[in-house]
Amino acid sequence: MPDRWTPYPPENAEGQHTVTGRVLHAVVPSPQLFNERDVWVYLPRGYGEEGRRYPVLYMQDGQNLFDDATSFSGEWHLDEALESAPDVPPCIIVGVANAGARRLDEYTPFNDARHGGGDGERYLDFLLETLKPIIEADFATLADAENTGIGGSSLGGLLSLYGFFARPDSFGFAAVMSPSIWFADRTSLRWVWHAAECHGRLYIDVGTAEGRRTVADARRLKRTLQRMGYVEGRNLRYLEVPEAAHNEAAWGPRFPAALDFLLRESVACERGQFDDATEAVQG
């Protein structure tokens, strides 16, 4: 293993850590964003078997995935969830920490008149031009688009939805959990319909306790995707979770099933028709 990666938590770590399985850590500079980023890599059970390579999922808000000690709002317990789900196909999970005060800017592809934002393209450049080559050089990965995914929740879900469609030659599957469709007056719905082509595999979910508008936005996204050619149960999985809130405690437990669906083989798309773009995003 290259020297840049160290076991996480380190042997001399102070305080209480809640990490299960094999997790590594590094700090990766970002020339695209003029900062640096903590990155954690979860290696699946059996990693290191001779000749075997693995799909990779790049997850946002990486400090919340594996350890309460680094989380800013609670932990997903993603490592425990995956370690206790032996039937889920193995996958390397790359957790990329957010930029704190600049999180909204980096996780949004559009500018919002009230909230700002809009640096999502540069963030994707960091993932694909800087981080992905490092991961592929240091770990036994399957580097093609079909085996490379992007995922996240809330604004991280919005960024993942955008990245999946904006970079189809790089991402073949996406986990879009409780996405912030509301951002920039729901521009993402119109953008997906006008700019994107159906490809790969998508998992989308929302909790019914996240609010009526949030659920309605998720349903609009589902209808748009179905009109684009996605078929529920084949290359699209849409889930409304009863009483689930908008937090890490809700997202973590449903992640293994999401990953299990996403790592199936891709299927072809057949685009449907709308009378106009308004029907695509509101119908």
Domain ranges of the chain: 6-282
d(CA 230, CA 184): 25
Arithmetic mean of pLDDT, 122-141: 98
The model's pLDDT over 72-90, given as tens digits with 9 standing for 90+, comes to 878 999 999 999 998 999 9
275, pLDDT greater than 70 = no
282, pLDDT greater than 60 = no
User: β-pairing, 173-177 with 201-207?
Assistant: parallel
Half-sphere exposure of 212 (CA within 13 A, CB side): 0
Arithmetic mean of pLDDT, 144-156: 97
- Cα end-to-end distance, the chain, whole Å: 51
186, pLDDT greater than 90 = yes
The per-residue pLDDT of the chain, averaged, comes to 92
| CB count in 10 Å sphere of residue 162 | 28
Arithmetic mean of pLDDT, 43-53: 90
Residue 142's pLDDT band (cuts 50, 70, 90): very high
Q: What is the pLDDT of residue 270?
A: 66
216, pLDDT greater than 80 = yes
Residue with tokens 């970079």: 167
b/e per residue 81-99 (b: at least 16 CB within 10 A)? bbbeeeebebbbbbbbbbb
Superfamily in which the 6-282 domain is placed by CATH: Alpha/Beta hydrolase fold, catalytic domain (3.40.50.1820)
Q: What is the pTM of this model?
A: 0.93
Residue 154's pLDDT band (cuts 50, 70, 90): very high
195, pLDDT greater than 80 = yes
The model's pLDDT over 233-261, given as tens digits with 9 standing for 90+, comes to 999 999 999 999 999 999 999 999 999 99
